[in-house]
Structure 1
Amino acid sequence: MFLLLNGFGFDPFGHCSLSSNIVFSALCIAQRPSQEVEMAKIPSKSHFVFVHGASHGGWCWYKIRCLLEKAGSKVTCLDLASGGINPSDANSIFTFDEYNKPLIDFMSALPEDEKVILVGHSLGGLNVTDAMNKFVNKVHLAIYVNAQMLPQKGEDKDKSEYRHAFEIWHGLGPDKPPTGVLMRKEFHRKLMYNMSPEEDSTLAAILLRPCPVMAVANANIRVGEGVNKVTRICIRGTKDTFYKEKSFQAQIKMWPPSQILTVESDHSPFFSAPTQLFSLLVEATASISSD
């Protein structure tokens, strides 16, 4: 989910957390695809690391995690600071480094000879780019799903109409910049889940948490040395009513990716088109498997 306010565009290791495992197990049991998924060949050592967008958590990837694990891949679904079951309060997170600490800690702990596939959704694309800057030799592939790759320069006019769609917190006082934002429930299906099953949008309404908007506003992420050697693939939802085409094209022009793939989905293809998204992830991985 992208957020635009005042002129800017916007334990954590899922496999190590008991409570996170319980949640994922329950969701995977509940997930019964209506069609048989053809399990394409994925390199046996592929390790996908999923990064959620604003207000979400590692839980939002539950369908994709089930499909990839069934296909034999290793999957990690992280909770960023204040997301999912991370105990941090969005109104106490003021820097992007604080917000992205769970991902940076995870990357730091990886063995030097291990490379992962980073997958970021929406605002989570900024977290992916930040991690690539710091651990370029540990990233095999970066995939951006309806995601922002770099901070938006100036105000995105396409999103000015959405200001009223968010509840805003001023944790430092009413005369200070906002510290937290959360999309109002009545806008969920219109903006984020317009093609998603009602069960998933209902789940999201229960689990979404405020996003640390001050931390995002203070993000200073640029393309670091050596980052362009990492293959970057953008996956674009053709029915995304939130991330407008004009905004997407501005990102592409700012930092052209290696490839652009499309999926018929809303802003949240992990809910609305999980099997198609799975297939695109497999396709993207296969395209660089010989590297």
Structure 2
Amino acid sequence: MEGGGGRHYVLVHGLGHGAWCWYRVVPMLRAAGHRVTALDMAASGKHPARMDEVLSFEDYSRPLLDAVAASPPGERLVLVGHSLGGLCVALAMERFPHKVAAAVFLAACMPCVGMPVSITLEELFRRIPPDFFMDSENIVVNTIQGPRTALLLGPKYLAEKLYDQSPEEDLTLATMLVRPLIQYFMDDPIMKDETLLTDGNYGSVKRVFMIAMADSSSDEEMQRWMIDLSPGVEVEEIAGADHTVMCSKPRELCDALLTIASKYD
């Protein structure tokens, strides 16, 4: 989905979701006179790739990397990554820092310079109980690299962990549209590379972390733990927002994004 005029926002969804999850926010930003591109990562949303064709986190992030690389000279983007999408945004910041005016981590995985990208996921898994994913399904996928495990988010998990403060129609939409994803690519070399994110590239881009204050999947303590790893990151709080902030508090999110774009050029 794309639009014209003003600043250019690029929106990246989280695990199992797609560009569709931004449907409330996209028209609000466009009505304010800005361009918006909501992307499907590989094998997500309407993207045609199959799970077994997405063999690495870079493959998964390719739609974002290609979109940022193709942006016109002189255009500086506002990247917004939700949940797992924060790691995609971090990779794009490292590759193309001169093309990014600001990066927004929306209740997202936000890595830091000098540590592996996977550190945020590892800490999350350390904190959550074994039954955290509730009725979500593990699916074995045969790939050219051998059998891999994919995760399909279950309706009870969606209702109680992600959409518990969102309108019922958004939860219904999610249960119809979520797709399984190779689980977090935790064994990917990119995730383990301590030198991947550099201070001169990733660290040079202005970062804003938006805390979803009513998030049942990643509580405030976990979100602030990531913030503390990266001193200087600006922090915004969205009261009453569940994990899917774009559904539970779309107006508040839009207003915050407009303010951020006006501050950083």
| TM class by smaller structure | 0.7 to 0.9
Within a 5 Å distance, the mapping from 1:91-106 to structure 2 comes to 91-106=52-67
1:110 maps onto 2:66 in alignment = no
Partner of 1:172: 142
Partner of 2:81: 120
Paired residue type of 1:129: A
Partner of 1:229: 204
Partner of 1:188: 158
CA contact (8 A) 2:11 2:37 kept: yes
Paired residue type of 1:159: I
Over 3 Å counting, the alpha-carbon distance change for 1:214 and 1:279 in structure 2 is: closer
Query: What stretches of structure 2 of length at least 5 have no aligned partner?
Result: 112-116
1:279 maps onto 2:255 in alignment = yes
Partner of 1:15: 2
Paired residue type of 2:218: Y
What is the CA deviation profile of residues 18-43 of structure 1, one whole-angstrom value per residue up to 9, with x for unaligned ones? xxxxxxxxxxxxxxxxxxxxxxxxxx
Identify which range, 102-111 or 158-167, moves more after superposition. 158-167
SS of alignment partner, residue 215 of structure 1: coil
Alignment equivalent of 1:62, drawn from 11, 20, 23: 23
Partner of 2:173: 203
**Aligned counterparts of 1:164 and 1:63: Cα–Cα separation in 2:** 27
For these two proteins, the number of residue pairs brought into alignment is 247
Paired residue type of 1:215: F
Q: Normalising by structure 1, report the TM-score.
A: 0.79
SS of alignment partner, residue 24 of structure 2: helix
Identity %: 31
**Aligned counterparts of 2:163 and 2:50: Cα–Cα separation in 1:** 25
Q: CA RMSD in A?
A: 2.0
Query: What stretches of structure 1 of length at least 5 have no aligned partner?
Result: 1-13, 17-43
Over 3 Å counting, the alpha-carbon distance change for 1:197 and 1:257 in structure 2 is: farther
**Aligned counterparts of 1:283 and 1:256: Cα–Cα separation in 2:** 21
Pairwise CA distance, 1:87: 1.1
Q: Normalising by structure 2, report the TM-score.
A: 0.86
**Aligned counterparts of 1:117 and 1:52: Cα–Cα separation in 2:** 14
**Aligned counterparts of 2:158 and 2:138: Cα–Cα separation in 1:** 16
